[in-house]
Structure 1
Amino acid sequence: MAGRSALETYKQGGSWWETEISDIKKNEIIIRGKRIEDLIGNISYSQMLYFLLCGKELTDNQAKLFESVLVAGADHGPRAPSIAAARMAATCGVSFNSAVATGVNMLGDVHGGAVEDAMALLYETERIQLKNEHAVADKLSELLESGQKLPGFGHQLHDNDPRVQRLYELSHLLIESGEISGNYLRILEDYRGTISSIKNRRFTINVDGISAAVQCELGVPAEAAKGIFSLSRGMGIVAHAYEERKNGTLIKGPCPNEEKLVRYTGKRVEESEQS
């Protein structure tokens, strides 16, 4: 961000909106220097997403790997807050797009933010390694000493997430063909080995960790990770919101109306009257 107000920029001769992404005129749509009709039918969704975001073109194999990340994060059932929120919204009579937006708006730093954190860590570690061969150990010590978690590791449910192994398999095919370097995947493995040694137990890489490494291999900006995850999980949100809407259920809250599930921790009536 330049840090200047839009009005200040405009007064100094800039346009109100400036973009390198698209040029839209009557009967003409140009996306990063290419006619939209030349893109339609010739590139995939993942290639278009990457082209819009990064201004570069992925090979077919790279695009399939990127798309595999989108597929891997598409759904994790109503245990996931984003899915549950979309389903609850659908039972409350809001429009379908509002139900979907409710789910997407649940994605943030805590639910959906681990990929960005892991990507930032991998990018930083790769830069440090150019001068310090102990970058992984040093960075991990820094995280642990400050009480931070190592992003991309561990899961509440899975200790052998099937998505992780599959993304590894697909990634190694591109390492062998030279279409990705494998540097960030190796750094991720170094973190796993180092923290497992420190904690004296085997740590597991989760889907956020492998997704982060893959996107770093492709040069995706870390700051875009939550947006990309929103597009990925958005598929599941749409499906679940539609299913709940079709079921005709009305006003479903976050849990059944059972006393043991919701506990009041405030003052009792007699305590309130005494005070």
Structure 2
Amino acid sequence: HFKKEWDYLLVKSGDELNLGNRTIKFVQTPMVHWPDSMVSYIPEEKLLLPNDAFGQHIASPERFDDELGWNIVHESAANYYANIVLPYGDQVKKALETINQLPIDMIAPSHGIIWRANIPKIIDAYTRWANHETECKALIVYDTMWGSTKEIATALASGLEAVGIPVITRSLQTSHMSEIMSDVLVSKGILVGSSTLNNGMLSSVAGFLNYLKGLRPQKRLGFAFGSYGWGGQGAKNVQEVLKSMGWELPAEPINIQYVPDPAELDFVRETGMKIGRIIKG
């Protein structure tokens, strides 16, 4: 990075560095989330120094997970994983194979709170996230110009809830895409809606989908919806992106011209119920 010659000691997986009273053992974990990522382990303390793994973007006067509480630290760890580590699930699984063989009393990541009380729970969470395991719930993400796409989103949510599917609805006007990724991490169904503008989807939806595609969540059900005055390319463009991600698309997009009438909203609700039954399996 600095393009200078430094007096480095190069280490690789299996190497050890004796510090006298303590020993550092090294395990390379490439792409979690950097090519040169490495886990360090101090057996005398049963202390794991995992670099970016198990980290959170959180700052508090508390230093340990039991001081701040599992719910808060887990939420932050999930957001960190969803926005940074998610594309590297296969590499995470390899790292976990090594970590699970070590006796660990404490995990001190490069970012955030130190784990000591909830180590089995965060390792279990990482295992689920790395395998792209989701919960039986749906996430609806949309933006709207004059409210028609919002009406469709509301009707879809009603249909999903009618068959027992919990729904998280996020407007891109009020929710940042990095916050939404925490919902993507745990949701089986991802429904994305956009009005049509200038022969395409809204820029907010395009930005979200570009960000989502780069993070590569897998094993999801996708659905596109939208509204338009003429043209109607917005929902079609959303569908194309979802298809390119390799997701299952259980229904044709809903694309309604002008303000949806009661009959159209009934159809939207029925479609939500259909998608909900598929999510249930």
The interval holding the TM-score normalised by the smaller chain is under 0.3
Q: From the two aligned structures, give the one with the greater strand fraction.
A: 2
Q: From the two aligned structures, give the one with the greater helix fraction.
A: 1
TM-score by length of 1: 0.24
